[in-house]
Chain A
Amino acid sequence: NAGVTQTPKFRILKIGQSMTLQCTQDMNHNYMYWYRQDPGMGLKLIYYSVGAGITDKGEVPNGYNVSRSTTEDFPLRLELAAPSQTSVYFCASSYNRGSRNSPLHFGNGTRLTVT
Protein backbone atom coordinates (compact mmCIF):
# COMPACT_ATOMS: atom_id res chain seq x y z
CA ASN A 1 0.00 0.00 0.00
CA ALA A 2 2.68 2.50 -1.10
CA GLY A 3 0.56 5.53 -2.13
CA VAL A 4 2.83 8.44 -3.10
CA THR A 5 6.56 7.79 -2.82
CA GLN A 6 9.20 10.53 -2.93
CA THR A 7 12.95 10.20 -3.11
CA PRO A 8 15.32 11.31 -1.75
CA LYS A 9 14.20 12.28 1.75
CA PHE A 10 17.04 14.74 2.26
CA ARG A 11 19.52 16.46 -0.04
CA ILE A 12 22.10 19.19 0.22
CA LEU A 13 23.06 20.98 -2.98
CA LYS A 14 25.64 23.60 -3.79
CA ILE A 15 24.54 26.73 -5.63
CA GLY A 16 24.34 26.07 -9.36
CA GLN A 17 24.04 22.29 -9.07
CA SER A 18 21.10 20.43 -10.55
CA MET A 19 19.02 17.56 -9.32
CA THR A 20 15.76 15.70 -9.87
CA LEU A 21 13.26 14.98 -7.15
CA GLN A 22 11.46 11.75 -7.88
CA CYS A 23 7.77 11.09 -7.28
CA THR A 24 5.73 8.01 -8.09
CA GLN A 25 2.20 6.96 -7.20
CA ASP A 26 0.50 3.59 -7.50
CA MET A 27 -3.13 4.68 -7.19
CA ASN A 28 -3.68 5.32 -10.90
CA HIS A 29 -4.43 8.96 -10.16
CA ASN A 30 -4.76 11.35 -13.06
CA TYR A 31 -3.63 14.47 -11.24
CA MET A 32 -0.23 15.02 -9.72
CA TYR A 33 1.24 18.10 -8.04
CA TRP A 34 4.45 19.53 -6.67
CA TYR A 35 4.29 21.85 -3.69
CA ARG A 36 6.94 23.58 -1.65
CA GLN A 37 6.55 24.30 2.03
CA ASP A 38 8.53 27.13 3.58
CA PRO A 39 8.63 27.75 7.35
CA GLY A 40 5.56 29.62 8.57
CA MET A 41 4.04 29.58 5.12
CA GLY A 42 1.34 27.51 3.53
CA LEU A 43 2.07 25.16 0.70
CA LYS A 44 2.72 26.81 -2.65
CA LEU A 45 1.94 24.98 -5.88
CA ILE A 46 4.93 24.72 -8.23
CA TYR A 47 3.62 22.60 -11.10
CA TYR A 48 0.81 20.19 -11.69
CA SER A 49 -0.22 17.61 -14.25
CA VAL A 50 -3.68 16.45 -15.30
CA GLY A 51 -2.41 13.33 -17.01
CA ALA A 52 0.49 11.78 -18.87
CA GLY A 53 2.01 14.24 -21.32
CA ILE A 54 0.26 17.28 -19.84
CA THR A 55 1.81 19.68 -17.35
CA ASP A 56 1.10 23.26 -16.30
CA LYS A 57 2.55 25.94 -14.07
CA GLY A 58 1.34 26.65 -10.57
CA GLU A 59 1.98 29.71 -8.41
CA VAL A 60 5.79 29.49 -8.14
CA PRO A 61 7.20 27.66 -11.20
CA ASN A 62 10.38 29.70 -11.78
CA GLY A 63 13.55 27.66 -11.45
CA TYR A 64 11.81 24.31 -11.87
CA ASN A 65 10.80 21.96 -14.64
CA VAL A 66 8.61 18.87 -14.73
CA SER A 67 7.67 16.07 -17.05
CA ARG A 68 4.93 13.44 -17.01
CA SER A 69 5.75 10.59 -19.36
CA THR A 70 3.71 8.03 -17.43
CA THR A 71 0.67 8.13 -15.17
CA GLU A 72 2.77 6.95 -12.24
CA ASP A 73 5.78 9.29 -12.33
CA PHE A 74 6.09 13.06 -11.99
CA PRO A 75 9.72 14.14 -11.45
CA LEU A 76 10.65 17.72 -10.52
CA ARG A 77 13.89 19.11 -11.95
CA LEU A 78 16.01 21.92 -10.50
CA GLU A 79 18.51 23.06 -13.12
CA LEU A 80 20.54 25.75 -11.33
CA ALA A 81 19.95 25.46 -7.61
CA ALA A 82 19.67 28.71 -5.65
CA PRO A 83 19.44 29.33 -1.88
CA SER A 84 15.85 30.52 -2.38
CA GLN A 85 14.97 26.95 -3.32
CA THR A 86 15.82 25.68 0.15
CA SER A 87 12.51 24.20 1.23
CA VAL A 88 10.55 21.03 1.85
CA TYR A 89 9.03 19.66 -1.35
CA PHE A 90 5.87 17.60 -1.40
CA CYS A 91 4.47 15.58 -4.24
CA ALA A 92 0.75 14.82 -4.20
CA SER A 93 -1.81 13.08 -6.35
CA SER A 94 -5.57 12.97 -6.67
CA TYR A 95 -8.12 11.24 -8.80
CA ASN A 96 -9.69 14.54 -9.82
CA ARG A 97 -8.22 17.99 -9.37
CA GLY A 98 -8.22 18.40 -5.58
CA SER A 99 -11.94 18.89 -5.70
CA ARG A 100 -14.43 18.56 -2.92
CA ASN A 101 -14.70 14.81 -3.49
CA SER A 102 -11.11 14.06 -4.41
CA PRO A 103 -8.64 14.79 -1.62
CA LEU A 104 -4.93 15.01 -2.23
CA HIS A 105 -2.63 12.17 -1.21
CA PHE A 106 0.80 13.41 -0.21
CA GLY A 107 4.23 11.86 -0.15
CA ASN A 108 6.47 12.25 2.90
CA GLY A 109 8.46 15.10 1.44
CA THR A 110 12.01 15.91 0.38
CA ARG A 111 13.97 18.34 2.52
CA LEU A 112 16.33 20.27 0.24
CA THR A 113 19.05 22.66 1.37
CA VAL A 114 20.98 24.80 -1.11
CA THR A 115 24.19 26.37 0.21
Chain B
Amino acid sequence: GNSVTQMEGPVTLSEEAFLTINCTYTATGYPSLFWYVQYPGEGLQLLLKATKADDKGSNKGFEATYRKETTSFHLEKGSVQVSDSAVYFCALYEGSGNTGKLIFGQGTTLQVKP
Protein backbone atom coordinates (compact mmCIF):
# COMPACT_ATOMS: atom_id res chain seq x y z
CA GLY B 1 0.00 0.00 0.00
CA ASN B 2 0.88 3.66 -0.10
CA SER B 3 3.25 4.91 2.57
CA VAL B 4 5.43 7.81 3.62
CA THR B 5 8.76 7.47 5.41
CA GLN B 6 10.55 10.34 7.12
CA MET B 7 13.96 10.55 8.70
CA GLU B 8 14.15 9.81 12.38
CA GLY B 9 14.23 12.70 14.79
CA PRO B 10 14.84 14.73 16.72
CA VAL B 11 16.93 16.93 14.49
CA THR B 12 18.86 19.49 16.54
CA LEU B 13 20.42 22.50 14.81
CA SER B 14 21.90 25.82 15.73
CA GLU B 15 20.23 28.99 14.53
CA GLU B 16 21.11 29.88 10.90
CA ALA B 17 22.10 26.29 10.07
CA PHE B 18 20.92 24.56 6.89
CA LEU B 19 18.03 22.15 7.30
CA THR B 20 17.14 19.00 5.40
CA ILE B 21 14.40 16.62 6.49
CA ASN B 22 14.19 13.59 4.24
CA CYS B 23 10.90 12.19 3.02
CA THR B 24 10.36 9.29 0.64
CA TYR B 25 7.11 7.76 -0.45
CA THR B 26 5.62 4.65 -1.99
CA ALA B 27 2.54 5.10 -4.11
CA THR B 28 0.81 3.89 -7.20
CA GLY B 29 -0.03 6.59 -9.67
CA TYR B 30 0.92 10.22 -9.21
CA PRO B 31 0.19 11.51 -5.71
CA SER B 32 0.19 15.08 -4.47
CA LEU B 33 2.77 15.69 -1.76
CA PHE B 34 2.58 17.93 1.27
CA TRP B 35 4.54 19.12 4.25
CA TYR B 36 2.55 19.97 7.36
CA VAL B 37 4.03 21.62 10.46
CA GLN B 38 2.88 21.29 14.05
CA TYR B 39 4.05 23.98 16.46
CA PRO B 40 4.00 23.15 20.19
CA GLY B 41 0.48 22.92 21.56
CA GLU B 42 -1.14 23.45 18.18
CA GLY B 43 -2.70 21.41 15.41
CA LEU B 44 -1.04 20.70 12.09
CA GLN B 45 -1.03 23.36 9.41
CA LEU B 46 -0.10 23.13 5.77
CA LEU B 47 3.43 24.38 5.09
CA LEU B 48 3.78 23.68 1.37
CA LYS B 49 2.67 21.35 -1.36
CA ALA B 50 3.54 20.03 -4.83
CA THR B 51 1.06 18.39 -7.14
CA LYS B 52 3.20 16.96 -9.95
CA ALA B 53 6.70 15.80 -10.73
CA ASP B 54 9.42 18.48 -10.64
CA ASP B 55 7.11 20.97 -8.91
CA LYS B 56 8.74 22.94 -6.14
CA GLY B 57 6.61 23.96 -3.18
CA SER B 58 7.81 26.86 -1.06
CA ASN B 59 6.66 28.87 1.93
CA LYS B 60 8.28 30.81 4.79
CA GLY B 61 11.76 30.05 3.43
CA PHE B 62 11.10 26.31 3.25
CA GLU B 63 11.27 24.44 -0.05
CA ALA B 64 10.63 20.91 -1.27
CA THR B 65 10.88 19.49 -4.78
CA TYR B 66 8.74 16.60 -6.01
CA ARG B 67 11.24 14.05 -7.35
CA LYS B 68 9.43 11.25 -9.11
CA GLU B 69 12.63 9.40 -10.10
CA THR B 70 13.72 9.06 -6.47
CA THR B 71 10.18 9.13 -4.99
CA SER B 72 11.27 11.85 -2.61
CA PHE B 73 10.04 15.20 -1.27
CA HIS B 74 12.81 16.43 1.02
CA LEU B 75 12.18 19.59 3.04
CA GLU B 76 14.95 22.22 3.06
CA LYS B 77 15.59 25.63 4.55
CA GLY B 78 18.75 27.63 4.13
CA SER B 79 18.84 29.29 7.55
CA VAL B 80 16.66 28.03 10.39
CA GLN B 81 15.39 30.13 13.28
CA VAL B 82 14.43 29.20 16.82
CA SER B 83 10.82 29.82 15.82
CA ASP B 84 11.07 26.94 13.31
CA SER B 85 11.20 24.44 16.17
CA ALA B 86 8.26 22.15 15.54
CA VAL B 87 7.25 18.71 14.29
CA TYR B 88 7.20 18.36 10.51
CA PHE B 89 5.00 15.81 8.73
CA CYS B 90 5.34 14.68 5.15
CA ALA B 91 2.11 13.46 3.58
CA LEU B 92 0.76 12.23 0.29
CA TYR B 93 -2.66 12.29 -1.24
CA GLU B 94 -3.57 9.91 -3.96
CA GLY B 95 -6.92 9.53 -5.58
CA SER B 96 -9.65 11.72 -6.86
CA GLY B 97 -13.06 12.89 -5.82
CA ASN B 98 -14.31 11.10 -2.72
CA THR B 99 -12.07 8.06 -3.01
CA GLY B 100 -8.68 9.53 -2.17
CA LYS B 101 -6.75 9.27 1.03
CA LEU B 102 -4.23 11.44 2.87
CA ILE B 103 -1.35 9.43 4.35
CA PHE B 104 1.07 10.95 6.86
CA GLY B 105 4.62 10.06 7.74
CA GLN B 106 5.58 9.61 11.39
CA GLY B 107 6.78 13.19 11.84
CA THR B 108 10.24 14.63 12.47
CA THR B 109 10.91 16.87 15.43
CA LEU B 110 13.15 19.87 14.77
CA GLN B 111 14.84 21.69 17.65
CA VAL B 112 16.67 24.90 16.85
CA LYS B 113 18.99 26.29 19.51
CA PRO B 114 20.01 29.95 19.69
Contact = CB atoms under 8 A, between A and B. Distances in A.
Nearest to B93: A98
A103 B55 CA distance: 17
Interface residues of B, number: 26
Contacts of B46: 103-104
B104 A109 contact: no
Nearest to A107: B43
28 contacts: A40-B106, A40-B107, A42-B89, A42-B91, A42-B105, A42-B106, A42-B107, A43-B44, A43-B89, A90-B44, A97-B97, A98-B100, A98-B101, A98-B102, A99-B32, A99-B93, A99-B96, A99-B100, A100-B49, A100-B93, A101-B51, A103-B34, A103-B49, A104-B102, A106-B43, A106-B44, A107-B43, A109-B42
Interface in B38-95: 41-46, 49, 51, 89, 91, 93
Given A101-B51, A108-B42, 7 more contacts: A42-B89, A42-B106, A97-B97, A99-B32, A103-B49, A108-B41, A109-B43
Given A99-B93, A107-B43, A50 B107 contact: no
Secondary structure of the A contact surface, majority rule? loop
Interface of B: 4, 32, 34, 36, 41-46, 49, 51, 89, 91, 93, 96-98, 100-107
Contacts of B51: 100-101
Interface string A80-108: 00000000001010000111110111111
Interface of A: 4, 40-43, 45, 50, 90, 92, 97-101, 103-109
Contact of B44 (A45, A100, A104): A104
Nearest to A44: B104
